[in-house]
Amino acid sequence: MTPGTPPANAPAADTPAIETRGLTKRFGDVVAVDGLDLSVPRGSIFGFLGPNGAGKTTTLRMLTGLGRPTAGTASVDGVPIDAGGLRLAERIGYLDQDPRFYGWMTGRELLELAGRAYGLDGEPLAARVEQVLETIGLSEAGRRRISGYSGGMRQRLGVGQAIVARPGILFLDEPVSALDPAGRRDVLELIGSLRGSVTIFMSTHILNDVERVCDRIAILDRGRLVTEAPIDELLARHAKPVIEIDPEPGQDAVVGALVERLTEAAWSREVRQRHGLIRVTVSDAEAAAVGVLPIVVASGVRLARFERVRPTLEDVFLQLVGANGAARAAASGSGTTEGAGVTEPDAAADHERSSQRRSE
């Protein structure tokens, strides 16, 4: 195979880059991944979200051939993972969440080793390694031994070794978790620059990063798929509008009354006050648009700012994972109240859809 070109017997362009059906992984009694159904379109940057221990890394390890599913099937670029071996490896690049390489090698030598593994050699390899070193900002450090690299440099080198042979599909496990803000920005820009040319399957629990670069996301919680959709669609579907009211300081009495009135409003779902800022999550956006200003005006509170804010992915994530936690607590009868106050019918619907797909 020539690196950077589609492998022989490459599947049609409209077939998903990654597809799983009922993918399951058990470790003894623990179900790490539970009947996962996913379809990742080609050329997308797919964010795989979940809290720690949700099963993200286990899924990635199965999809890259490092782990074996207990049940279910999956294919990567049309190659079934259980029969993948070298055919699977030719198609993918992989970055571990805590990349460790050979400390005795230089960064340049590691990229050369990775390139040669895919069949690159001679001048094309040298040119490509030079290009990748520049892209990941290690042109100078490429001559030094990896044992002297910082965590961030190792992470960037990890991205470099994953892309050196221009594979069609990249699996990145927490690619920016060890980086400082500048390093994170650089790597995310690098990931963003690959949009359209490769499919990127990226696990993370840093939601801001996902919003910055991903087209679609899936949320996993305790091994189960909670939802999967394009980000905009997900925000539109799940996130409740939020109104922020920022009173000028020194009006404690009237602000307290305002919070009380807002809490009592029929369209108000939740009112939080932190550091003086009032944050109102509404259940009926239209009613709130009509009703909120008269309440504020009537309260006599002087405002520094009044804004209807765009809901964030974090809001959606907490809603969905919280609702899931509440459902689990109820089902197990454990009596825990964590997340029990949050109800989210859409999340339940997503669960149903996921279950239906599995049964199909």
Q: How far is the CB of 101 from another protein (least distance, A)?
A: 6
For residues 1 and 329, which CB has a smaller minimum distance to another protein in the complex? 1
- The nearer residue to another protein, 120 or 323, going by C-beta atoms, is 120
State in angstroms the smallest separation of the CB of 60 from another protein. Answer: 10
Q: Work out how close the CB of 51 gets to another protein at its nearest, in angstroms, rounded to a whole number.
A: 23
Closest CB 126 distance from another protein, rounded Å: 16
**Based on CB atoms, which residue is closest to another protein, 86 or 330?**
86
**Amino acid making up residue 40:** V
According to DSSP, residue 335 is labeled -
User: 3-class secondary structure for 117-180?
Assistant: HCCCCHHHHHHHHHHHHHHCCCCCHHHCEHHHCCHHHHHHHHHHHHHCCCCCEEEEECCCCCCC
Cβ proximity to another protein, 118 vs 317, nearer residue:
118
DSSP string, 282-328: ES-HHHHHHHHHHHHHHHT--EEEEEEEPPPHHHHHHHHHHHHHHHH
Three-state DSSP class for residue 27 = strand
Q: Is the dihedral of CA 29, 32, 38, 41 positive or negative?
A: negative
Continuous H helices in 194-312? 207-213, 231-238, 252-264, 285-299
Q: How many CA atoms lie within 13 A of 100 on its CB side?
A: 1
CB of residue 55 to another protein, shortest distance in Å: 15
Rank residues 65 and 223 by Cβ distance to another protein and give the closer one.
Answer: 65
Query: Which residue's entry shows tokens 């069609």?
Result: 168
CB-nearer residue toward another protein: 158 or 247? 158
* Cα–Cα–Cα angle for 323, 327, 330, rounded to 5 degrees: 140
d(CA 129, CA 161) in angstroms, rounded, equals 9
Instruction: Between 68 and 302, name the residue whose CB sits nearer to another protein.
Output: 68
Residues near another protein (CB under 8 A) are 1, 61, 64-68, 85-86, 89-90, 92-94, 96, 98-102, 104-105, 113-114, 116-119, 161
Q: To the nearest whole angstrom, how small is the minimum distance from the Cβ of residue 224 to another protein?
A: 21
Give least dist CB 26 to another protein, A: 12
